[in-house]
Structure 1
Amino acid sequence: MDDDAKLSVVRDMVEAWNALDWERVVGLFAPDGVLHSVMQEPLRGREAIGERLAVLADGLERLTLHVRALGVIDGRVFLERLDVFDVRGHHGEVPVVGVLSVADGLVTEWLEYYDRATLLRGMGLGTDFAA
């Protein structure tokens, strides 16, 4: 895939997250794709990713991934963003950097870098939350 095609897949993924379209999010991953919030164990495969998204989406009222920068470096897509969300009456904003590998129109690996405590605080959860 060329860089423009990779960027297009990532833009589609951002749209799916903003629409809270979890089926589309999962479908944009390769069947054996990996979603790895680096402070946790990686999720491997669509089923595991879908299960985690179901937990995270519970009570989610709104989510907007505000893209600050998007580009390709050495074949991987770098996505700097501010995630703004409302969940169960709590409001949160978390700066995030994602690094995505894309092949054959699907995300094969997505690494997420953010401060987990900031995310959990925004969700109204304690730092011991397991999902």
Structure 2
Amino acid sequence: MNRHEELIRNFVDAWPRLDVDAIVDYFTEDGIYHNMMIDPVQGRAGLTAFIGAFLNGWSDVKWDILNIASAGNLVFAERVDHFKVGGKPVDLPCCGVFEIENGKIKAWRDYFDMGTYMKALA
């Protein structure tokens, strides 16, 4: 495993603590999170507000990395994100593409099926 893959594994392992500041600290100052169903969010303040908002009501978080690969400054992580939202369990298959710069996440693009997420919450 290379250092970029290790960074992403550590990032994934940070989510169960639900500590927004610790999660956002993995990003560069101008880092971007693009949840592909909505507009990208950029910068530490924007990331803190966005991630904090969707973590509200989350519990029992565990993300399983199924496959991880890297090339240059890119890391691809196929995952299943497990968590509860308002007490309802969600098992969400995802694929994240991460651009790394100077040991931090410069950009994170996450791909998943919104229907799977919404069905779990129904």
Fold match (TM-score > 0.5): yes
Q: Name 1:92's counterpart in structure 2.
A: 90
**CA-based RMSD:** 1.5
Amino acid at match of 1:91: P
Q: Name 1:41's counterpart in structure 2.
A: 39
- Post-superposition, which runs of at least 4 consecutive aligned residues in structure 1 deviate over 4 A? none
Q: Name 1:80's counterpart in structure 2.
A: 78
Q: What displacement does 1:100 show?
A: 0.2
Whole-Å Cα distance in 1 between the matches of residues 94 and 45 of structure 2?
Answer: 24
Q: Name 1:129's counterpart in structure 2.
A: none
Q: What displacement does 1:35 show?
A: 0.3
Answer whether contact 1:16 1:22 (CA < 8 A) is retained.
Answer: no
State which of 26, 29, 32 in structure 1 corresponds to 2:27.
29
Amino acid at match of 1:108: K
Question: Scaled by the length of structure 1, what TM-score is found?
Answer: 0.86
Answer whether contact 1:61 1:85 (CA < 8 A) is retained.
Answer: yes
Whole-Å Cα distance in 1 between the matches of residues 76 and 41 of structure 2?
Answer: 19
Percent of aligned positions that are identical: 26
Whole-Å Cα distance in 2 between the matches of residues 21 and 79 of structure 1?
Answer: 21
> What secondary structure, in the 3-state scheme, does the structure 1 residue paired with 2:96 have?
strand
Amino acid at match of 1:54: G
Whole-Å Cα distance in 2 between the matches of residues 83 and 15 of structure 1?
Answer: 11
Q: What displacement does 1:55 show?
A: 1.2
Question: Scaled by the length of structure 2, what TM-score is found?
Answer: 0.92
In the alignment of these two chains, the number of paired residues is 122
Unaligned runs of 5+ in 1: 126-131
